[in-house]
Structure 1
């Protein structure tokens, strides 16, 4: 197809390649700034923390449960339905002992205005079945009784003076004690029976390992993409494809850093999916560009690229819009567990559609793509061999 045949139906995409380049640079600078200043707000999968699954005897009121968890002093608590409308997954970026310290401080305030919890340590190994050692200041040994450390939660207790402080050895740790106490608080404030199904702690060392492996996975994916496109098309195409992918990933990460949205493994999976989605769209455009260069011999590279983008525009818009419709439904009705995944894909697909049109093709313009770049190299002596 020649540029004359394309006629007025061809959209002049590359007429805006300079403003588009400026827009991309601005978005990248804003995203990198957000990542540098705010950083990503890593979720429980990366930071470590407590995770408790509880069952309510009646459908759970999630907003009320979240308010209770915040009042109890847990660090960035999250409560989501899990499996049914009465099963709730509670997650906190800190340990359950964070809530235990808040609850203990309330009880100490009833004893003395100067009472405070000084430290929480492991109990000495030679002290039998005691799990933890709690050191208090501003109180006497007689003050540390069942009203401060309820036996219902802490088990057996041994209290002794240590200089100006008081040390209490407890059978149950603050984590275990507060997990049991939290069940009672939830039951009392929601008016339902609450049963503990599962309680665990994800250590930060596991989170760091997952974070590092996820980052290496993205870098490996970009390297493989660059090699594939270079072999399938040409080196200039591979540079355009990788720059488009890097552009998409940085902007998605910057969006999450700017608005401080939890970044967990589901969001990381969405970022990797954005790489695949954006690459697929870019490959479709590049394939048209490669096909049209030999067909439109008298046309300039700008005309070839505009014609290729116009021919693939309908397919790009239909694919993107139908995918976005599904993701919007997931974001609105899918619940909090999957909202981050859906949001990352929504942002990624919008940015990826834009980058497939402008970032990848703009790179071809900046690298001055010409018809000869796509022609196979002529072997030495081939012209002589073709002579009669």
Structure 2
């Protein structure tokens, strides 16, 4: 009766799994090619550079300030508001043969042409060596997170499901990085934080689906694996829509109104939520089915008690 009711209202998600999986494989391949050819547009957090924060007496025209920052010492500066329309943050990359103090002086001279009463609030310098270490540690953080997740899912579920979940997570990370590489979007520490958030978000969605798959394998004993997976995805779809929808409301608000400082973070989350939602179905679950997941794999291991094979003793 449970199987009949479950199959009656089931959406056949896996019917489109093969073409979508091929599309995912193409996206991953294209992302890897873009990363190899274009590389990543590393921000100052990773390449090193100088950050100058200034306060103007009135709202400043950023385009007018950019026009002034065209000297050889300040060329290529990134100008953005920081907090309010009167606070401006200027970020300068390291230039060979040019000292940081010279760059700061050049920025302040350009700013005084826009507003003679501008005040310098903060100056920070990140060396190239520190930036290189941050890049290495960031890549190591993502790798360690994937390994720990694979170990956790292997103990929690079964190795076929663990392999599917890690493949989906790697897919999400590579495609998101590919978008940043293809469009040469700046990759800084906020984007790295967004990338790690995507890993956690995607894993949570996958775990919910896998947990229901395991339950249905024990309940629906006569159904095929593909039918059980379709039932499980259908049963968790309402939760996925609600969770994804409420998260997107917040992320879209950050993307549109959050300002330049967290624009990269919001972009990474937007890409990750979209890619991570469909990868839980068409990468993780479909791959587990193709690896031959079945009811026997979901059964708990029976531990034989000591002496259980001995005949009972006569009173």
With the length of structure 1 as denominator, give the TM-score of the two structures: 0.75
More helix by share: 2
Of 284, 287, 292, the residue aligned with 1:360 is: 284
Deviation at 1:381, TM superposition (A): 7.8
Of 172, 180, 195, the residue aligned with 1:256 is: 180
Which residue number corresponds to residue 11 of structure 1? 11
**Alpha-carbon distance in structure 2 between the residues aligned to 1:386 and 1:18:** 52
Larger radius of gyration: 1
**Alpha-carbon distance in structure 2 between the residues aligned to 1:34 and 1:63:** 31
Change (3 A) 1:174 1:22: closer
Which residue number corresponds to residue 168 of structure 1? none
**Alpha-carbon distance in structure 1 between the residues aligned to 2:105 and 2:213:** 64
Which residue number corresponds to residue 179 of structure 1? 104
**Alpha-carbon distance in structure 2 between the residues aligned to 1:386 and 1:234:** 33
Change (3 A) 1:181 1:28: closer
SS of 1:304's equivalent in the other structure is helix
RMSD: 2.2
Which residue number corresponds to residue 228 of structure 1? 152
Conservation of the 8 A alpha-carbon contact between 1:234 and 1:374: yes
Which residue number corresponds to residue 274 of structure 2? 350
With the length of structure 2 as denominator, give the TM-score of the two structures: 0.92
**Alpha-carbon distance in structure 2 between the residues aligned to 1:363 and 1:235:** 12
More strand by share: 1
**Alpha-carbon distance in structure 1 between the residues aligned to 2:306 and 2:102:** 84
SS of 2:293's equivalent in the other structure is coil
Conservation of the 8 A alpha-carbon contact between 2:50 and 2:100: no
**Alpha-carbon distance in structure 2 between the residues aligned to 1:40 and 1:61:** 30
Quick check: 353-362 or 177-186, which moved more?
A: 177-186
Deviations 1:65-103 (A, max 9, x none): 23433x3343532122223321211101234xx7xxxxx
Conservation of the 8 A alpha-carbon contact between 1:75 and 1:94: no
**Alpha-carbon distance in structure 2 between the residues aligned to 1:203 and 1:174:** 12
The gaps in structure 1 that reach 5 residues or longer are 99-119, 121-172
**Alpha-carbon distance in structure 2 between the residues aligned to 1:281 and 1:387:** 49
**Alpha-carbon distance in structure 1 between the residues aligned to 2:68 and 2:220:** 67
The correspondence of residues 112-191 of structure 1 with structure 2, limited to 5 A, is 175-188=100-113, 190-191=114-115
Change (3 A) 1:13 1:383: farther
SS of 2:140's equivalent in the other structure is helix
**Alpha-carbon distance in structure 1 between the residues aligned to 2:267 and 2:117:** 34
**Alpha-carbon distance in structure 1 between the residues aligned to 2:149 and 2:103:** 50
The correspondence of residues 38-77 of structure 1 with structure 2, limited to 5 A, is 38-69=38-69, 71-73=70-72, 74-77=74-77
Change (3 A) 1:380 1:196: closer
SS of 1:358's equivalent in the other structure is helix
Deviation at 1:314, TM superposition (A): 0.9
Conservation of the 8 A alpha-carbon contact between 1:75 and 1:93: no
Which residue number corresponds to residue 196 of structure 2? 272
2:265 paired with 1:371: no
Deviations 1:291-328 (A, max 9, x none): 00111111100110000000001111111121111111
SS of 1:90's equivalent in the other structure is strand
Which residue number corresponds to residue 160 of structure 1? none
**Alpha-carbon distance in structure 2 between the residues aligned to 1:314 and 1:66:** 48
Change (3 A) 1:30 1:237: same
Deviations 1:232-251 (A, max 9, x none): 11111111111110000000
The correspondence of residues 204-243 of structure 1 with structure 2, limited to 5 A, is 204-243=128-167
